[in-house]
Structure 1
Amino acid sequence: MAGIIHPFYESHRGAMEAAMQHRLDLAESMMCERAHLSDIDGIRQEVMDEFEIVLTQMPYVGGAASRMSDFFMRLMGFMAIGRVLRRHGVSLSVIGEIERETYKAQLLTVPEAERVASGRQFLSSENQTLLRDQAAKSHQQAFPEDFVYDFVEPGPGDNFEFGINYTACGFCKFAARHGDKEILPSICGLDFDAYATRGIHLERTQTLAGGASHCNFRFSRLPSDQDE
């Protein structure tokens, strides 16, 4: 019996499917050359079919009121790609490479000025105020499958602008529930390019997926954006 897609994700389904098709366009040559797959049309269809399953599995975490809904909508499709490539015997390291390079290529299709402006907005004092508020609200755990996190202020001698410690991760919960722990690190690896393409340096030395007590995100401006 087919699962039900939450109405919030259903309303964004067209955009998410278009993004998936774009990713598959960008990934085709890598799937041939690095994963040694030949029936690319078949793989594409298998990925899109798997994405339909993922859509029914995506947990609702508050919709437009939660910043994490956007993370799910932008990144959960990579779970579908990882599942299909793994079924075809592709190694975890190659899956990680393909997904990260595909995502970076997709991000770079956005004009640089727009990306840099988005990065500056993320690092702005206004957004930091919003993140503090949302971090506090995350501890209420209104949605069991959501993220829980703390806002981290820099201390004396720190060279980051602010940080976020994730003590519970929606992707980890999803992976545990649906048997995706093996491919979860590929999702974690996407974060670095997601920020770098917006002029933000992300430093992270541990993750929940890797067995740590929390993911320690630390954000600062990339040198190229310092004096602009």
Structure 2
Amino acid sequence: MTESVHRFYESNRSAMESSMRHRLDLAETILRERAHLSDIEGIKHEVMAEFDLVLTQLPYVGGSENRMSNFFMRLIGFLAIGRVLRRHGVPLAMIGDIARETLKSQGLAVPEAERLAAGRQFLSPENRALLGKQAVMSMTEDHRKAFPDDFAYEFVEPSPGDNFEFGINYTACGFCKFAAHHGDKEILPSICGLDFDDYATRGIHLERTQTLAGGANHCNFRFSRLKPE
């Protein structure tokens, strides 16, 4: 029996597929010149087919009521890219480089004013309040029972002398759970590596010294405004 895509992701499928195609177009040069792949159109078709499979595997974690749904929708496609490139013999380190450079290019394609406005909104008191509420929700027993494949995290207020505006400690990672379920552990670091450039394109500095994927008991995200160069 063919697995279906959850209706929430199905309703966003067109936008996700468009984003994937854009990424693949941006990755074309590096795939050819550094990964030494010749049939780029064939690779693109293979990735999009793999993405169709990934969508059927993607767990529902609450839809628009949960901010982590957006993280899944924005980044899970890189596991589809990683699976295909791994099958074609591309080294894991290069897969990570391709993912980071592609996401950075995609982020920088957004007008600067729009990107920086998104960064200011992320760091705003209003968003901090929302993050705090969603962090509490993510740790409740009811939520974890309803959405066992979701992230779980704690909101971190800075102490006197800290040089960050706020932090998040992820004690459970949806991407780690997904990778464990579907055999993607070796390409999981390519997802973890996306965070720094992803936030930087929006004017946000991320400091993180450990990850669940790397064996730590939590991922320690710390956010502040990116200083002008």
Distance in 1 (CA, whole Å) between partners of 2:3 and 2:31 is: 29
Deviations 1:45-91 (A, max 9, x none): 10000000000000000000000000000000000000000000000
Partner of 2:218: 214
In the superposition, the TM-score normalised over structure 1's length comes to 0.97
Partner of 2:47: 47
Partner of 2:178: 174
SS in 2 for 1:36: coil
SS in 2 for 1:156: coil
Partner of 1:16: 16
Partner of 1:134: 134
Partner of 1:203: 207
Match among 166, 169, 174 for residue 165 of structure 1: 169
Partner of 1:7: 7
**Between 52-61 and 34-43, the greater mean CA deviation after superposition:** 34-43
SS in 2 for 1:223: coil
Aligned length: 225
Partner of 1:150: 154
Deviations 1:4-41 (A, max 9, x none): 00000000000000100000000011111111111111
Give the CA deviation at 1:167. 0.2
SS in 2 for 1:74: helix
User: Which structure 1 segments of 5+ residues have no match?
Assistant: none
SS in 2 for 1:193: helix
Match among 183, 187, 190 for residue 186 of structure 1: 190
Distance in 1 (CA, whole Å) between partners of 2:163 and 2:28 is: 40
Distance in 2 (CA, whole Å) between partners of 1:213 and 1:101 is: 28
Partner of 1:223: 227
**Between 160-169 and 38-47, the greater mean CA deviation after superposition:** 38-47
Distance in 1 (CA, whole Å) between partners of 2:3 and 2:13 is: 15
SS in 1 for 2:188: helix
Paired residue type of 2:40: I
Paired residue type of 1:76: I
Give the CA deviation at 1:171. 0.2
Partner of 1:65: 65
Distance in 2 (CA, whole Å) between partners of 1:218 and 1:136 is: 18
Distance in 2 (CA, whole Å) between partners of 1:214 and 1:35 is: 33
Distance in 2 (CA, whole Å) between partners of 1:92 and 1:2 is: 30
The equivalences for 1:104-123 within 5 A come to: 104-123=104-123
Partner of 2:93: 93
In the superposition, the TM-score normalised over structure 2's length comes to 0.97
Task: Give the CA RMSD over aligned residues.
Answer: 0.9
Paired residue type of 1:17: E
Paired residue type of 1:63: G
Paired residue type of 1:8: F
Does 2:31 correspond to 1:31? yes
Give the CA deviation at 1:224. 2.0
Distance in 1 (CA, whole Å) between partners of 2:2 and 2:95 is: 27
Give the CA deviation at 1:2. 2.4
Partner of 1:74: 74
Distance in 2 (CA, whole Å) between partners of 1:84 and 1:73 is: 19
